[in-house]
Amino acid sequence: MSMLSAESLALIDKEIAKYPADQRQSAVMSALRIAQVEKGWLSTETMDFVAHYLGMQPIAVYEVATFYNMYNIKPVGKHKLCVCTNLPCKLMGADEIADRLKKKLGIEFGETTEDKQFTLVEGECMGACGDAPLLLVNNHRMESFLNEEKIDALLDELKNK
Amino acid sequence: MVIQPGPVIFNTLHLPEPWKLSTYVSAGGYSALRKILAENIPAETIIAEVKTSALRGRGGAGFPTGLKWSFMPRQFPGDKYIVCNSDEGEPGTFKDRDIMRYNPHALIEGMIIAGYTLGAKAGYNYIHGEIWDIYEGMERAVEEARAAGYLGDNILGSDFSFDLYNHHGYGAYICGEETALLESIEGKKGQPRFKPPFPASFGLYGKPTTINNTETLASIPYIMREGGQKFLELGRPNNGGTKVFSVSGHVEKPGNYEIPMGTPFSELLEMAGGIRGGRQLKAVIPGGSSAPVLPGEIMMDCTMDFDSIAKAGSMLGSGAVIVMDETVCMVRALERLSYFYYEESCGQCTPCREGTGWMYRVVHRIEHGQGRPEDLDLLDRVAGNIAGRTICALGDAAAMPVQGMLKHYRHEFEHHIEHRKCLVQSGAM
Amino acid sequence: MALNIEIDGQQIEVEPGTTVMDAAHKLGIYIPHFCYHKKLSIAANCRMCLVQVEKAPKPLPACATPVSDGMKVMTRSDYAIQAQKGVMEFLLINHPLDCPICDQGGECQLQDLAVGYGGSRSNYAEPKRVVTEKNLGPLIATDMTRCIHCTRCVRFGQEIAGIMEMGQAFRGEHAEIMPFIDKTIDSELSGNIIDLCPVGALTSKPFRYAARAWELSRRKGVSPHDSLGSNLQIQVKNGRVMRVLPLENEDINECWLSDRDRFSYEGLNSEDRLTKPMIRKDGAWVEADWQEALSYVASRLREIQVRHGADQIGALAAPTQTTEELYLLQKLMRGLGCGNIDHRLRQSDFRLDDKAHGAFWLGMPVAALNKLDRFLIVGSTLRKDHPLLALRLRQAVRHGAGMNLINPVVEDYLCKVANRSIVSPDGMVNALAGLVRALAEAKGERIPTMASGAEVTPEIKAIAESMIGGERKGIFLGNLAQHHPRYAEMQTLAQEAAMLAGATLGVLGDAGNALGAVVAGAIPGRGALGSRGMAGMNAAQMIASPRKAYVLLGAEAEYDCFDPVAALAALKQAEFVVAMSSYKHAAVDYADVLLPIAPFTETSGTFINAEGRVQSFHGAVKPMGETRPAWKVLRVLGNLLNLPGFDQDSSEAVRDEALGQDAQARVQQFLNTRIDPVSVSLASTSKIERIGEVPIYQTDAIVRRAASLQRTADAAPPMAKASGMLLEKLGIQGGGMAIIRQGEVSVVIRIDRDDCLPANCVRLPGAHAVTVSLGPLFGELTVERA
């Protein structure tokens, strides 16, 4: 029995094929990303599985999972909201956006709502400063030019998902 | 967000679906590659053309691209690689995202030409983690190019084979450092390598590798299509071409502006709609967050090229222009930047691992009314002990904002320490 | 082209590729450093070795900067010192500065360098970092807050141990050196990271808080636990061995030690030590003084000799005893007119005894192993039996050597294996015959008769192809081969294969002083250095035909013999058994006299390792209690028996008598792995075979009592393993209990599935309390569901 779904494994295999045959480890970042999309976060078992699948030592996988900050090495809420507060976003009101989110969700950065729906984290530069302020929903969806109305609408949308 | 089109990078922007292969081809795309392959143009000729263009690396260091290419041991038997650094995470920089979004094929063609020139059989494009939709778009574009015979075996019927893959990052600024990026492609944590050996001799998987920035590679098709001289003439001597400047912060129209190198800053600011709400310009970080800050009045005398900004005591870097108006407290600004470098230090070498946290904590104390008179000298000293002592440039990048802020805005810090509050009363931040 | 450079005003000429650090070292200039280590890759991460280089815009790390011609380096200029001091300040800001309670205190690189480069007070006024402790297992204590992230331990795992068990997780200031979540460090070489750690982050758990470095006196020693003979620095306080560290010897152990060599010392201080002579009187054990005990032993031996004939005495010696002890034992036995002496307690095939031309050895210096191009290992649990030889062979593979295996088990060798033929223990004979045939065919030579009927499997063919290539190559027979009942055939075929392949044949050696024992003449028919000796029974014969009396030297028959059940039965039926031992052990059930003899740290003596290196050592501490060095005990016994030639007044005198003044040269001449061939049978068994290796921490009496080693993963009680195919045939579920029988005896034990094993085999290690009630290490067995 596999730790990951056949769909996930197929995606991982596609990534492995991008690299020379003796460099399966190159696919570890994608493999962890794909595993995280399926599982929500990277448990010890999941990382062990990925290590085994790619022929790596588990600690080498753990090094990667803890180095890149988009991996969830602890369980997170259904929707992880990552707000960039770096200088260009801050100049455009990122702190107010963050405060609004904190207030509406009743949590601080690094926390998860009791109903496990939302996790709020502080992000670093996402390379989209022209669209500031902005946030990421579950790593892969970017919301730009944020203001209070947009925040409210986003939370309403996600709550009903 | 505004995008100002230009002849080199955003040359398809005026067309519908500018990101499509067919659009790119209709604007002359892939003709340079066709010509090179059809005429079997020697690598030396291409490198000479790139040298003529005075194209300098657009990733931040500004190293002449033709010279970099000439370092590659092209005759080295065995695998060689071309790697594109699209890990754009320097606060203020967001040009590569739009290049990949609107003109992915310029990059792909640039990489194929680079692969041909450097004898690489494969290329990797390392894309910043937080821009997933861009990664997906690049994956589609690569598929499109492959289906059209621009990638794969025997490209366009020639005996040149080359393939290209996108590698998605997942949240680490340091991977913008080229050897950290190589480590990351190899499936490791992104800790920079000590150089020497340089990537040109020991790069990806230990093979000769050339790494260029997205914008650099996306400029190659124009140079090969229109000629290096024409590219050079778009800009100014030693600073060839147009360049995409990312303008963020307190301007009316933040965005990417493809303008000739050497354009006066004042013109760029005007293009960006000037300072928002008619406020006064206070300061500019002219080349991404690690470039030392320059007061507005100095900046207004600068032109946007490597030499002019360097002369003013900062760096053109990646061309990321962070504009700050009079409401900005420089202590707060530095606190956030210092936190960034503390957060993004890879932890490998001592001065950066230990020093970035130290600097952040001191600035944080000052911002929060806990500053001590000796703190500013301490900051200067700590920054000085990091700069030039680390494996990679992140140490310098962390030290320079501190040194720049203390150079131009020491009085604001002193005020914070003495009065335990901000000099900028009406502060937006 | 040599490069001329100048460091601190001194000129030196060096080869291209030399680093500034190396060049400075040659000049005797010390450049402070933490992450740099001569045996590890260059990390350049600590930045302590920053130096000034003329024309360089910034200080450069000496460890990673290659010299260029005309370079001028200043390691002590104000500029360099300022850089070094800056780094030291950073290293100390988050360091707990808890030297008074740190085990590393007094031998800490950080502490030493902080004296020279650190400030007297800290400018760091912010909160310090605290890092949670990690449980690395029973051998290594952690205090990770002290860690300076030099990554030596990480690189050791990746580059030397061959397995990355430690890593640097997280990043920036949050970076932590750690194993994977909840994992311990299980490598058999793990203790080396304690030595490598330049601070007190990784320290010895058994040694924790036991002594301060400056209280310890240091003695040289040689390890008896495997055939390498690692050089030891034995650290002593109040007459007790407190700790063992490597004594660097580039030709043998380099700067490493196996965990077995490092932590076995705990066994020396075991509660189980025998400290007084004891005599069984009317069924009860009473303490005796030496005079009484030895007189009693002498009179009983004389009595048996007179009543039953000297031939009714048998002497079994552990191959971990010193050469001097083994020499005197054989001299004593032969003096009594008895040729029954052997140290090859785990061996079962003695057909080569009259075919050998010298002492079997490695065939090459230990240091040649890492320079091999191609090699073949036959029958070995290599990593566990020979941890540091395995390390050298891994280095060879890292440099491109082809590793080939004919083996009944699959181990993780932690390096690339070019080809492997996994066959039953018995099948190794056929596999080797196949190899001989394949080699002959590949070279177009006539197929030797012994191999003419052999089958050449694709794996064997690949091994033959590999072994034909390369310049420097070796074929090595391991412990599994050496203990097997058809060893003579294996060595015969391996010799043929080596000849055809142009390879050197070597025997890895199954114990610390196995070669020394042969050199000493502790085998039937041969005296010291192969001189003619009185013939007699070998170890197996002494057990198969029980004797009236036994003399045991360091041997714990219940663990150390090929067939522990038979050995125990033979001892139990004897009229008289004298056990010279450092420990009270099962001998209390079968012996009549227990004589406490000194383990290797408490006596002087000589070990001869697998490459034939003669290594003499002095005692590190005084013998415990009334324990006496065995050479003295045997000498007195010889006197009490009125035998001539027992007047040596030192172990050196014994050595000189046995090996001569030019011991090394003489031993060298005696080394020879050549044999006259025995006849080879290609018949194979259809019975289920046992694969009975000796686990790494069960090899000898000291190791078996080393408490911390016994808590490691490698010391876990053994269980049976068999292929899924066999389990299915037997109707047993993997993970279930099975009854395993060998002849009359049986054990009930958990059996697990291991599809890497050959089809008709059960892997069940011996020499362990759980398995010693079973029969021989190899041979037929039956399995049924429990």
Q: Which two tokens stand for residue B202?
A: 């020991």
Q: How high is the pLDDT of residue B423? A: 80
Mark yes or no for CB contact B188/A142 under 8 Å: no
Q: How confident is the model at residue B393 (pLDDT cuts 50, 70, 90)?
A: very high
Radius of gyration of chain A (CA): 17
Would you say residue A2 has pLDDT above 80? no
Q: Which two tokens stand for residue B193?
A: 């390598």
CA distance B161 to C143: 54
Flag whether residue B333 sits within 8 Å of chain A, measured between CB atoms: yes
Which structural domain, as residue segments, surrounds residue A63? 6-67
pLDDT in tens, B145-185: 999 999 999 999 999 999 999 999 999 999 999 999 999 99
Q: What is the mean pLDDT of residues A41-60?
A: 97
pLDDT in tens, B85-95: 999 999 999 99
Residues A33 and A88 in one domain: no
Shortest CA gap A65–chain C (Å): 8
Radius of gyration of chain C (CA): 28
Q: Which chain A residue is nearest to residue B79, measuring alpha carbons?
A: A20
Q: How confident is the model at residue C86 (pLDDT cuts 50, 70, 90)?
A: very high
Final residue in a domain of this structure, among A43, A67, A91? A67
User: What are the angstrom distances between the C-alpha of B347 and each of B351, C51, C419?
Assistant: 9, 22, 41
| Helix, strand, coil shares, percent, chain C, to 5 | 35, 20, 45
Flag whether residue C400 sits within 8 Å of chain B, measured between CB atoms: no
Q: pLDDT averaged over chain B?
A: 96
Closest CA to C206 of C266, C273, C151: C266
Q: Which chain A residue is nearest to residue C181, measuring alpha carbons?
A: A44
Q: How many degrees, rounded to 5, is the angle at CA C506 between CA C500 and CA C509? A: 155
Mark yes or no for CB contact B189/A139 under 8 Å: no
Q: Which of residues 152-171 of C touch A (CB under 8 A)?
A: 163-171
Q: How confident is the model at residue B429 (pLDDT cuts 50, 70, 90)?
A: low
Shortest CA gap B124–chain A (Å): 9
Could you report the predicted ipTM of this complex, rounded to two decimals? 0.97
Question: pTM to 2 decimals?
Answer: 0.96
Q: How high is the pLDDT of residue C41? A: 97
Residues A22 and A45 in one domain: yes
pLDDT in tens, C160-201: 999 999 999 999 999 999 999 999 999 999 999 999 999 999
Flag whether residue C173 sits within 8 Å of chain B, measured between CB atoms: yes
Is A74 within the bounds of a domain? Answer: no
Residues A138 and A113 in one domain: yes
Which member of B97, B128, B132 has the closest CB to residue A139? Answer: B132
Phi, psi of C222 (to 5 degrees): -130, 135
To test the contact with chain C by mutation, choose from B342, B350, B391, B417 the residue with the greatest count of C C-beta atoms within 10 A, namely: B350
Q: What is the mean pLDDT of residues C712-721?
A: 96
Flag whether residue C182 sits within 8 Å of chain A, measured between CB atoms: yes
Flag whether residue C183 sits within 8 Å of chain A, measured between CB atoms: yes
Is A13 within the bounds of a domain? Answer: yes
pLDDT in tens, C26-48: 999 999 999 999 999 999 999 99
Residue C356, classed as helix, strand or coil, is strand
Q: Which of B70-79, C293-302, C492-501 is least confident? A: B70-79
Complete DSSP assignment for C719-774: -EEE-HHHHHHHT--TTEEEEEEETTEEEEEEEEE-TTS-TTEEE---SSTTTTTS
Type and span of the H or E element at C606: strand C605-608
Which member of C57, C66, C90 has the closest CB to residue B385? Answer: C90
Q: How high is the pLDDT of residue B245? A: 97
Would you say residue B427 has pLDDT above 60? no
pLDDT in tens, B225-273: 999 999 999 998 888 899 999 999 999 999 999 999 999 999 999 999 9
Q: How high is the pLDDT of residue B243? A: 96
Q: How high is the pLDDT of residue C457? A: 98
CA distance C784 to C764: 15
Q: How high is the pLDDT of residue B323? A: 98
Q: pLDDT > 70: what percent of chain C?
A: 100
Which member of C171, C179, C182 has the closest CB to residue A67? Answer: C171
Closest CA to B243 of B1, B9, B52, B29: B9
Find out whether the peptide bond into B254 is cis, omega within 30 degrees of 0: no
Q: Which two tokens stand for residue C257?
A: 């030690």
Is A58 within the bounds of a domain? Answer: yes
Q: What is the mean pLDDT of residues A38-52?
A: 97
Residues A93 and A133 in one domain: yes
Per DSSP, what are the bridge partners of residue C249? C254
Q: What is the mean pLDDT of residues C364-388?
A: 98
Which member of A60, A130, A142 has the closest CB to residue B248? Answer: A130
Beta strand C10-14 with B263-264 is: unpaired
CA distance A127 to C321: 70
Final residue in a domain of this structure, among A67, A96, A114? A67
Beta strand C782-785 with C140-142 is: unpaired
Q: How high is the pLDDT of residue C586? A: 87
Q: What is the mean pLDDT of residues C312-330?
A: 98
CA distance C153 to C203: 12
Residues A101 and A53 in one domain: no
Closest CA to C436 of C365, C395, C494, C390: C494
Mark yes or no for CB contact C149/B350 under 8 Å: yes
Q: Which residue has the tokens 């030099």?
A: C150
Residues A33 and A104 in one domain: no
Residues A23 and A58 in one domain: yes
Radius of gyration of chain B (CA): 22
Closest CA to C233 of C217, C245, C249, C251: C245
Which member of A48, A57, A67 has the closest CB to residue C164? Answer: A57
Closest CA to B217 of B342, B341, B124, B323: B124
Closest CA to C628 of C280, C293, C161, C244: C293
Residues A154 and A83 in one domain: yes
Q: How confident is the model at residue B311 (pLDDT cuts 50, 70, 90)?
A: very high
CATH of the domain at A15: 1.10.10.1590
Cβ-Cβ contacts under 8 Å for A160 (sequence gap 6 or more) = none
Q: Which two tokens stand for residue B399?
A: 């030290």
Is A141 within the bounds of a domain? Answer: yes
Which member of A57, A62, A67 has the closest CB to residue C181? Answer: A62
Would you say residue C376 has pLDDT above 60? yes
Q: Which chain C residue is nearest to residue A64, measuring alpha carbons?
A: C169
Helices within chain A (DSSP H only): 6-16, 28-39, 44-54, 58-67, 87-91, 94-105, 148-159
pLDDT in tens, C735-751: 889 999 999 999 999 99
Is A1 within the bounds of a domain? Answer: no
- Helices and strands, number each (H, E), in chain C: 25, 33
Contact C203, C139 (CB under 8 A): no
Residues A58 and A92 in one domain: no
Would you say residue B426 has pLDDT above 70? no
Closest CA to C129 of C191, C175, C195: C175
Q: How high is the pLDDT of residue C786? A: 85
Cβ-Cβ contacts under 8 Å for A75 (sequence gap 6 or more) = A40, A41, A112
Q: How high is the pLDDT of residue C442? A: 96
Q: Distance from first CA to last CA of chain B, Å, rounded?
A: 22
Q: pLDDT averaged over chain C?
A: 97
Sign of CA dihedral C13, C19, C24, C27: negative
Contact C128, C93 (CB under 8 A): yes
Beta strand C614-617 with C605-608 is: antiparallel
Work out the number of other CB atoms within 10 angstroms of the CB of residue B202.
Answer: 17
CATH of the domain at A88: 3.40.30.10
Is A73 within the bounds of a domain? Answer: no
Q: How high is the pLDDT of residue B70? A: 96
Would you say residue B288 has pLDDT above 90? yes
Q: Which two tokens stand for residue C45?
A: 């991460």
Would you say residue B71 has pLDDT above 60? yes
Amino acid at C668: Q
Flag whether residue B292 sits within 8 Å of chain A, measured between CB atoms: no
Q: How high is the pLDDT of residue C98? A: 94
Q: Which two tokens stand for residue B246?
A: 């990312």
Contact B170, B192 (CB under 8 A): no
Q: What is the mean pLDDT of residues C415-430?
A: 97
Is A23 within the bounds of a domain? Answer: yes
Complete DSSP assignment for B54-87: T-B-TTTT--BHHHHHHTS-TT-SS--EEEEEE-
Is A62 within the bounds of a domain? Answer: yes
Q: What is the mean pLDDT of residues C149-155?
A: 98
Flag whether residue C179 sits within 8 Å of chain A, measured between CB atoms: yes
Q: Number of folded domains in chain A?
A: 2
Sign of CA dihedral B54, B58, B63, B69: negative
Residues A17 and A56 in one domain: yes
Contact C349, C486 (CB under 8 A): yes
Residue C260: burial class (beta carbons within 10 Å; 0-12, 13-18, 19+): buried
Q: What is the mean pLDDT of residues B192-214?
A: 96
Complete DSSP assignment for B13-46: TTSSSTTSHHHHHHTTTTHHHHHHHHHT--HHHH
Would you say residue C449 has pLDDT above 90? yes
Q: How confident is the model at residue B425 (pLDDT cuts 50, 70, 90)?
A: low
Mark yes or no for CB contact B189/C168 under 8 Å: yes
Residues A84 and A136 in one domain: yes
Phi, psi of C68 (to 5 degrees): -125, 160
Residues A83 and A155 in one domain: yes
Q: Across chain C, which distance is largest between two alpha carbons, in Å? A: 92
